[in-house]
Amino acid sequence: MNLTISGHHLEVTPSLREYVVTKLERVTRHFDQVVGITVLLSIEKLKEKERRQKAEVTLHVKGKDIFVEHAHEDLYAAIDELMDKLDRQVCRHKDRVQNHHHAAAKRLSTALT
């Protein structure tokens, strides 16, 4: 799994990098077929009063790319909300990918004899 964490208008500190990695462990625990993850942390300087900090994740899974973004006044809160959204989307994708069609009991009994 390739993990890329980059910052736009901010420096990615080791503590910030570790925080993102620990939050991503929850997602990779649910779904282990992750090919690569790209995280972009940025600060939008709209006005002096309205500084928004935004976190974006692109999750590359076999057959699909999942993109999630969230903005908040606090970067750590933005990362928390982002990981919640990503977790929901990964669980939804996992449910769609899994085979929910089971063979009928009648067909199983004839196949065994």
Total domains in the fold of the chain: 1
Look at residue 107 in the predicted model and tell me its pLDDT: 61
Tell me the CATH number at 37.
3.30.160.100
pLDDT block averages, 10 residues each, the chain of length 113: 90 94 88 88 75 90 90 92 93 81 62 60
Alpha helices in the chain (DSSP H): 14-30, 75-97, 105-112
Exposed/middle/buried for 14, CB within 10 Å: 0-12, 13-18, 19+?
Answer: exposed
Look at residue 69 in the predicted model and tell me its pLDDT: 94
pTM for the full model?
A: 0.79
> What does the alpha-carbon distance between residue 28 and residue 73 come to, in Å, rounded to a whole number?
27
- Asked if residue 24 lies in contact with residue 3, where contact means CB atoms within 8 angstroms, the answer is yes
Host domain of residue 105: 2-112
